[in-house]
Amino acid sequence: MPTPLNAAPEVSRPPDREPWLYELTVPEAAEIDAAFATLLASGAADFAAREADFPLPRVGPKLRRILRSIEDEPGFALVRGVPVAGKSEQEVRRLYWGLGIHLGVPLIQNNSDSHMVDIRDEGRAGRLRVHSSNQHIGFHIDSTDIVGLLCRRAAARGGTSLVTSAEAVRREISWAHPELLPALYEPLPFADVASPDEHHPDFFLCPVFGRHEGRTTTRFYLRRILRSQDNPAAPRLTGLQRRAIEAVEETAARPDLVTTMEFQPGDLQLINNHLVLHGRTTFDSSEGSDTGRHLLRMWWSVPTSRPLPPEFEAAWGTREPGTLRGAARRWQLQGEFGEFQRRQAGELGVVIPA
């Protein structure tokens, strides 16, 4: 595939304003609380719940407008003011599930069949995933169209969210390191998060950058590219490829390219993984998992998702827009949760691939 022409030397900076910040009004927060009360009164279990069980006549359309907006730059949004104060952990989970019904088709995220994952320090850092620790997480994408992080508790210190435009990173590398750019359009091995053995992970091939219909699409996770080398069947990374992926990580972290977010309880961050890289700084976990930083993560397929470049199909299972895709295909459409996914896809207009 031909590499796009180098860009003119310029510096991309975060906006002086914060067009990505959406603050809920008092009536909008009250509408969410009322919807939560309706869900509890209905007695509907999570997988049986529908939009009518969590009615959001104003907030629901607003959230969907935000989702449509992040199909283009900046590719992320922060919704501030979700009413989590005074609620137990289980209540926040149910409230988040109700919001998620309005956003997309949720995906299973791991081999434990979790559709909502805790992001907090549990003293565990795996070889492929480190979200159950307080460690720094480098720039990456999640294996889903849209990832949502709802802050239940913020860290006393640290845990800053970092987001960077993949197109800005591509452009800066094209100017500063043009000799590295072709390697980022070549298929590279990624350790598969669905691998049953993270010491000898399965792998798939995908480029870091692709272009389709005038848009840059990305797939990047330095840790998983490097971990692919634990599988002797994976292609060996060349020296040029290693320098290229290290340049992506270093460029994404440049202060003039990064947008930082300090989470507050009730913040809902939404990220389009096809055009934004994200990470986080280390955080103080001395408070413990019961009182310290706690986010809840959901993954969604959405009807407004973009078509992907042909060379991304192996990584995603399908490149068609508005389809159920992401995570591991064998995790999806199974059992009771799979029935919910099928119903939700039908109601939202998300296509289930054959």
Residues 191-211: tens digit of each pLDDT: 998 888 878 889 999 999 999
CA gap 30, 262 in Å, rounded: 24
pLDDT of residue 188: 98
CA gap 111, 227 in Å, rounded: 18
Looking at the chain, the number of H-run helices and the number of E-run strands are 8, 15
- Dump strand ranges (E) for the chain: 21-23, 76-80, 105-106, 117-119, 137-140, 146-153, 161-165, 188-191, 203-206, 209-212, 215-218, 259-261, 267-272, 276-280, 294-301
CB 118 within 8 A of CB 294: yes
Decide if pLDDT at 2 tops 70. Answer: no
Mean pLDDT, rounded, for 271-294: 84
Mean pLDDT, rounded, for 217-238: 96
Among the ranges given (5-19, 84-98, 290-304), the one the predictor scored with the smallest mean pLDDT: 5-19
Sign of CA dihedral 170, 147, 159, 224: negative
CA gap 309, 148 in Å, rounded: 24
Decide if pLDDT at 173 tops 70. Answer: yes
pLDDT of residue 23: 96
Mean pLDDT, rounded, for 128-152: 85
Q: What share of the chain has pLDDT > 90, as a percent?
A: 79
First-to-final CA distance of the chain: 28
CA gap 123, 194 in Å, rounded: 21
- Measure the CA angle with vertex 229, ends 108 and 279; round to 5°: 50
pLDDT of residue 169: 98
In the 8-state DSSP scheme, what is residue 221? Answer: B
CA gap 271, 144 in Å, rounded: 10
User: Smallest Cα–Cα separation from 342: which of 314, 308, 301, 311?
Assistant: 301
Decide if pLDDT at 56 tops 90. Answer: yes
Among the ranges given (16-25, 208-217, 313-322), the one the predictor scored with the smallest mean pLDDT: 16-25
- Residues 59-93: b if buried by 16+ CB within 10 A, e if exposed: bbebbbebbebbbebbbbbbbbbbbbeebeeeebb
Q: What confidence category does residue 8 fall into, taking pLDDT thresholds of 50, 70 and 90?
A: very low
Decide if pLDDT at 9 tops 70. Answer: no
pLDDT of residue 282: 85
CA gap 284, 156 in Å, rounded: 7
Mean pLDDT, rounded, for 22-48: 96
Tens of pLDDT along 245-270? 999 999 999 999 999 999 999 999 99
User: 């800005």: which residue's tokens?
Assistant: 168
CB 67 within 8 A of CB 302: yes
Q: What confidence category does residue 1 fall into, taking pLDDT thresholds of 50, 70 and 90?
A: very low
3-state secondary structure of 233: coil
Q: What confidence category does residue 286 fall into, taking pLDDT thresholds of 50, 70 and 90?
A: low
Tell me the CB-side half-sphere exposure of residue 263, using CA atoms within 13 A: 32
pLDDT of residue 128: 57
* Average pLDDT of the residues of the chain: 90
CA gap 137, 149 in Å, rounded: 15
pLDDT of residue 123: 65
Mean pLDDT, rounded, for 89-96: 97
pLDDT of residue 221: 95
CA gap 58, 62 in Å, rounded: 6
